Amino acid sequence: MFFNPVRTSGQPPVIDPSGDALFLDFDGTLIEMADHPDLVTVESELIAHLGELQRACSGALALVSGRRIVDLDRFLAPLRFSAAGVHGLEQRLEPEGASEPICGPEMLDEARESIRAAIAAVPGLNFEDKGTALVLHYRTAPELDETAKRIMRDAIAGRDDLVVMDGKRVIEVHPAGMDKGRAVAALMQRPPFAGRRPVFIGDDLTDEHALAFVREQGGVSIKVGIAQTCAEFRLEDVAAVRRWLGLRT
């Protein structure tokens, strides 16, 4: 997936609200990471500014996150956005529309039982069941990296309909065939996104599919942080993202 970028530093181009479609990751991009996913802080100023951007772009702003859409709504209330949750396994094409899962949670039942049994004797692993995805967090116990990966690999042994995906001190099992790039591609087929220049910004390995798709489409691909990437541009951290979006920090 990775290739040598033409440009990996310097300020990305200024957003054009009349012609751009904005696709924004959440954790590590709009907000700082936390030791537990429920402990993040979303300031009222950020929520208000996202609402202003949504209106300026005539609704062409979507959140593309590993989180469930219902959790994004909870953090960003009272606002709602078009969204792809759980890396595209949930989709909401319109802000006031319904969230549609790509698959049901039952296909993960065997893996779910395997993971629960395996982590019972491993303090430091935090299990999150998203319904359509199963996640192990180990931000407070990085030494458990290989243990977490082994547990997840074992949970889907012999299955070609499930995949393991790595992130920053997190590892996830979910159905094969969907990622953030495909989620962005689906949104770009519909108004108000269709016909606009796609802009995606994200910080994690899980964002690379979307960064690659946007770059292939001639859009603006922005990596947050210093990790290897296929993105054309970089921003240093969450504070830099907010400044680029026009929010005073």
List active site positions: 25
Q: Determine the residue type at 69.
A: I
Can you name the residues that pair with 91 across neighbouring β-strands? 84, 100
Q: Name residue, tokens 């990751």.
A: 25
What is the Cα–Cα distance from 222 to 119, expressed in whole angstroms?
A: 36
What is the Cα–Cα distance from 14 to 208, expressed in whole angstroms?
A: 21
What is the Cα–Cα distance from 203 to 66, expressed in whole angstroms?
A: 12
Q: Crossing angle, helix 208-216 and helix 180-187, to 10 degrees? A: 40
Element holding 113 (H helix, E strand): helix 109-119
Contact between 249 and 243 under an 8 Å Cβ cutoff? The reply is yes
Query: Reduced to 3 states, what is the DSSP secondary structure of residue 48?
Result: helix
What is the Cα–Cα distance from 57 to 20, expressed in whole angstroms?
A: 7
What is the Cα–Cα distance from 55 to 32, expressed in whole angstroms?
A: 25
Query: Reduced to 3 states, what is the DSSP secondary structure of residue 106?
Result: helix
Is cis: bond before 101, omega within 30 of 0? no
Contact between 65 and 51 under an 8 Å Cβ cutoff? The reply is no
